[in-house]
Amino acid sequence: MEHTSLSKETACNVITCWAAVAWTTNAPLPMEIIEVDPPKAGEVRIKIISSGICGTDNHILEEKNKVPLPAILGHEGAGIVESIGHGVTTVKPGDKVLVLPLPECRKCIYCLHPRGNVCEKENVLSPTGLMLDGTSRFTCKGKKIYHLYGTSTFTEYTVVDEISLAKIADDAPMDKVCVISCEVPTGFGAVFNTAQVTAGSTCLVLGLGGIGCAIVIACKASGASRIIGVDINEQKFPRARALGATECLNPNKLKKPVHEVVMEMTGIGVDFAFEAIGLIETMVTALKTCHVSYGVCVIMGVAPSDSQLSFDPMVLLPGRTLKSSIMGDYKTRDTIPKLVTDYMLKKINIDSLITHTLPFKKINEGFEVLRKGNCIRCVLLF
Ligand code: PAD
Ligand code: ZN
């Protein structure tokens, strides 16, 4: 038998449950009854307990980033293992887990490289929306529904490959730790791993949403003496200031372009600039705002599908560095459980990154408050 499990009532059976199905873009997500197949070999079925709404989910719904549809979105989730497929060894039913939008197979050349974190098993640049065996575990109204980045958390139950899961501590607070699936490692890793921000440095953070605010926290923890935050939505400023931003700018209220204003404010440009919006114009702004000789620009924002980044190469020639990373350069399965433990030991604070919680069925309200409100991260509770 291919499927083995300890959860006797539901294991081996198709589960019928509620999910928010993205049939199309630029429309609210309808709640639908879906069927979730049992996990096949190497797969795990999870009952989702909480899920964050990430800017990337919003980009997909606003059609900026293309993925196969209809799909169940959401990639930042905490849950409990309901059943496991044949050969799964690292988790068992009842375990608390985080889903990982970037898997770690620990066998491919990327995973075995000391710095590699983009496992070759997941095609991050062109997502298939399917499990590793090339099929889907979701159906709705007789139609196949795609997965998202091997995760899909806007559903009461999901199925993921074992390599896209991290077992976390049994006493982890499940209403909070979902943001350690994506928001926290992306922002913290951008600062600690990708940029390696130094004490006393000046940092610029473009975009003060979930990722930008996680970057602000990590810049402060690294000892940055000046952290300039930029956002067109001033409702984001109070939280960013509370987390460590020393100044906040609204580009729409400036008489000059942001890079000129920051050059004047600093005299020489910033040591580190982070783009956490996902627009090519602000990526170029981040690059031009760095110190001409030793400035480091890190792009975290996901640019619209098929867009092209263009700038005068002389901007780089004197020595500026342009970098980028996914999930903060962390090896996900190895590091994310440690971030959960660090949080539980109060070594890192993630509570201030969660500004809103809503019941799962109010997911569309969550997207609204992310788009227009003072939301840093909205966590859906199931
Ligand atoms: P978010 O929607 O919470 O934050 C984006 C912020 O940018 C909001 O506060 C907006 O008001 C602000 N903004 C929008 N346009 C502008 C503008 N023109 N100038 C200044 N500010 C603006 O999203 P998020 O923080 O969850 O995600 C931010 C980006 O990071 C987004 O592109 C997302 O796709 C990307 C991301 N990358 C990774 C990765 O691993 N690299 C992981 C997760 C998210
Ligand atoms: Zn994300």
Nearest ligand 1 atom to the CA of 212 is 25
Q: Whose CA is nearest to atom 44 of ligand 1?
A: 56
Which residues in the chain are classed under CATH 3.90.180.10? 8-176+354-381
All residues with CB under 5 Å from ion ligand 2: 54, 56, 182
Looking at all shown ligands, the one closest to residue 302's CA atom is 1
User: How far is the centre of ligand 1, averaged over its atoms, from the C-alpha of 325 (Å)?
Assistant: 14
Nearest ligand 1 atom to the CA of 208 is 9
Tally of CA atoms within 13 A in the half-sphere of 72 that contains its CB: 36
Nearest ligand 1 atom to the CA of 183 is 43
In eight-state DSSP terms, residue 191 is: I
Q: What angle do CA 28, 33, 13 make, to 5 degrees?
A: 145
User: How far is the centre of ligand 1, averaged over its atoms, from the C-alpha of 59 (Å)?
Assistant: 9
Is residue 5 predicted with pLDDT exceeding 80? no
Contact criterion met (CB below 8 Å) for 49 and 382: yes
What confidence tens digit (pLDDT) does each residue in 165-180 have?
999 999 999 999 999 9
CB of 277 closer than 6 angstroms to any ligand 1 atom: yes
Nearest ligand 1 atom to the CA of 281 is 18
Q: Whose CA is nearest to atom 27 of ligand 1?
A: 55
What confidence tens digit (pLDDT) does each residue in 38-52 have?
999 999 999 999 999
Provide the angle, in degrees to the nearest 10, between the axes of the packed helices 280-289 and 258-266. Answer: 20
Q: Which two tokens stand for residue 18?
A: 């509620």
Tell me which fold the domain 8-176+354-381 belongs to.
Quinone Oxidoreductase; Chain A, domain 1 (3.90.180)
Contact criterion met (CB below 8 Å) for 217 and 349: yes
Q: How do beta strands 356-359 and 378-381 pair?
A: parallel
d(CA 113, CA 107): 10
Give the architecture-level CATH label for domain 186-326. 3-Layer(aba) Sandwich (3.40)
Q: Structure pTM?
A: 0.95
What confidence tens digit (pLDDT) does each residue in 216-235 have?
999 999 999 999 999 999 99
Mean pLDDT of all residues belonging to the chain: 95
Pick left, alpha or beta for residue 380 (phi over 0 → left; psi -120 to 50 → alpha; otherwise beta): beta
CB of 208 closer than 6 angstroms to any ligand 1 atom: yes
Contact criterion met (CB below 8 Å) for 74 and 57: yes
d(CA 101, CA 79): 14
What pLDDT shows up at residue 8? Answer: 55
One-character DSSP codes across 324-354: E-SGGG--HHHHHHHHHHHHHTTSS--GGG-
How many helices (DSSP H) and strands (DSSP E) are in the chain? 9, 18
Which residues in the chain are classed under CATH 3.40.50.720? 186-326
Instruction: Identify the band that residue 31 occupies on the pLDDT scale cut at 50, 70 and 90.
Output: very high
3-class SS at 148? coil
